[in-house]
Amino acid sequence: MLKLKKKSKRSKKKHFQPETPPLSLQERLAQKRKATKARKEFTGLLTKAVSVAIIAGILLAVVGGIKAAVPGVVGIIVIAFCFKYPRQALFAFIIYVPLGGTITYYIGNSPILQLAKDAFYIPALISIWQVSKRQRLPLLIPKALKTPLYILLASCTITLLFVNGAQQFSPPPAGLLQDAPKEVPLGMGILGLKVFLGYLPLITCYYYLIRNKRDFLFLSRLQVVLILVSCILGFIQYFLLLTGICEGTRNAVGGDLFKATLEARCYIGGSLVYSPSQGMIRLPGTFVAPWQWAWFLISSTFFTFGTGFSDPSILWRIVGLGSLVTVFVNAVISGQRIALALVPTCFILLLLLTGQLGNLKRFIPLGMGLALILTIAAITNPTVVQERTESFVGRWNASPPQQFIMDQFEENWKNVAGPFGSGLGRATNSARALGQTKLVETYYPKVLYEVGIFGLLAFLGLVTTLTVVCHRAYRSIKNRNLRSYAASMWVFVLFISYNTYYYPLDVDPVAVYYWFTAGILLKLPEIDKQEKANTESEQQGKKKR
């Protein structure tokens, strides 16, 4: 009797399991035809792309040598495949961002390689634009950005035409016995506009990339893995310098002891300073320059926090916590004062604004684990911690950030050419090859100098609208894990929208991560609705059974 009862229970369990019906012969044949068609398309595209690339490569080799030919051949093949496969291109783009500096200097330090990531982004954007046009889907997301974006574009167009245009066609006269500077102000303006707003369409790209919860989790976990890999490479770089395998700038003389140079490069990333005799260290990690690494660590705090506290899998929460620890440690060993200040500040800000302090079951083990690891690291390396702390305090006392920002605003307010600015690109470092640029070390004074008070107010209107829309999206989410992750992303958008210290929105990685984050966040309410609908359908199915 007992055996019969057990058997009946097993049969009930089997009965309740959803069975996937076997595919019919017609369906199997349709799948085979689809796979065959995809293979033919891939092979055909590869053949055409390689043929065109080889012809172009031969021409480039004749004109510019092998250094021009190789990037040209690779670029044509990459662009062709990115246009055909935009989803894969967007994943490749986000993988390339933290590793681009290292790849650039391993291949050969060509200026073209600095723009290599756009070979993934631009073809994918064009492809998505074409698909959205065919399917009558909106290209601008969210719709609330339409008015402020058009106002900003109108202001930038006026600056480009009437300020950059005047500089191009009516340049100021050169001084006595002086040659007129060779400049391309319109080229500067176009490049300046690309730097200013070129990555805004990433909102739409990643909004459409994420189709469901599975895509979202894959992307968020991929980002955490990239952070972990980059931070491990940062550890390796520090270890190689510490042990003397890499010389750094320790044997430099005079002022060179305090300057980041490419000659001091240590296998990973680009320019660095390592002068232990002077207590001077500025590491670039996997990026081209040290301050880019600092802002990568700052932005990584938000991604690792989101996964560490919000991922539904305990394994990935542990990975997120581990990545967060590596971010904290790199903030100390990299010698970047701004990272040392803002990484813990952002962590505390996230705890307060996302409500994780109240989630004691999840916060206590993760928080205690993080505190324990950081305490052990501090105890075992007291000299490093002391040096970095003293460097930060000394810098703050010498030049308080708030005073520095106010001085920059005052100086650029006095020197700006007019209400529409001094010209797009005139304070953009990457445009210096096309003309004279001014170094402005804070973001909103830089915007003021380039596009004037009208452009500055229009940009503030754009980012304020985006921040408000992102807040509404985050507040509308009901699923606890999705809501917690969305809160982390919203705090990042809020923080970067109004940060004016330095100019992270102008360069990698924040120039990418800001818009990328907004795209993910704006998709989460839709994923939340999908999950709710799936749960309700499952419950209805159980009731019917």
Show me where the domains of the chain are located.
39-140, 185-533
Q: Say yes or no to pLDDT of 100 above 70.
A: yes
Q: Are 246 and 297 in contact (CB under 8 A)?
A: no
Q: Say yes or no to pLDDT of 521 above 50.
A: yes
Q: Higher pLDDT residue, 416 or 11? A: 416
Residues 482, 471: Cα–Cα separation, whole Å: 14
**Consecutive H or E run containing 95:** helix 86-107
Q: Higher pLDDT residue, 154 or 508? A: 154
Q: Say yes or no to pLDDT of 502 above 80.
A: yes
Dihedral, CA of residue 479, residue 480, residue 486 and residue 489, to nearest 10: -160
What values do phi and psi take at 87, rounded to 5? -60, -50
Task: Report pLDDT for 446.
Answer: 95
Task: Report pLDDT for 27.
Answer: 66
Question: What's the mean pLDDT in 217-244?
Answer: 94
Query: Of the given ranges (208-222, 284-298, 350-364), which has the lowest mean pLDDT?
Result: 350-364
Query: Of the given ranges (18-32, 37-51, 197-211, 498-512), which has the lowest mean pLDDT?
Result: 18-32
User: If you search the block for the tokens 């994780």, which residue do you land on?
Assistant: 356
pLDDT confidence of 10, banded at 50, 70, 90?
very low
**Consecutive H or E run containing 274:** strand 273-275
User: If you search the block for the tokens 């170094």, which residue do you land on?
Assistant: 439
- Look up residue 496 and give its two tokens: 């970067």
Task: Report pLDDT for 197.
Answer: 94
For every residue of 126-191, DSSP letters joined together read: HHHHHHHHHTT--SSSSGGGHHHHHHHHHHHHHIIIIIIHHHHHSPPPPPTT-PPP---HHHHHHH
Percent of the chain with pLDDT over 90: 44
Q: Say yes or no to pLDDT of 86 above 70.
A: yes
Task: Report pLDDT for 250.
Answer: 87
Which of 395, 505, 496 has the alpha carbon at shortest distance from 446? Answer: 505
Tell me how far the alpha carbon of residue 338 is from its chain's centroid. 18
For 192-216, the pLDDT digits (tens) are: 999 999 999 999 999 999 999 999 9
pLDDT confidence of 2, banded at 50, 70, 90?
very low
Q: 3-state DSSP call for residue 345?
A: helix
Strand partners, 173: none
Task: Report pLDDT for 8.
Answer: 44
Q: Higher pLDDT residue, 219 or 400? A: 219
Q: Higher pLDDT residue, 321 or 17? A: 321
Q: Higher pLDDT residue, 69 or 338? A: 338
**Is the sign of the CA dihedral 519, 525, 531, 533 positive or negative?**
negative
Q: Say yes or no to pLDDT of 65 above 80.
A: no
Q: Say yes or no to pLDDT of 226 above 90.
A: yes
Task: Report pLDDT for 299.
Answer: 95
Task: Report pLDDT for 190.
Answer: 94
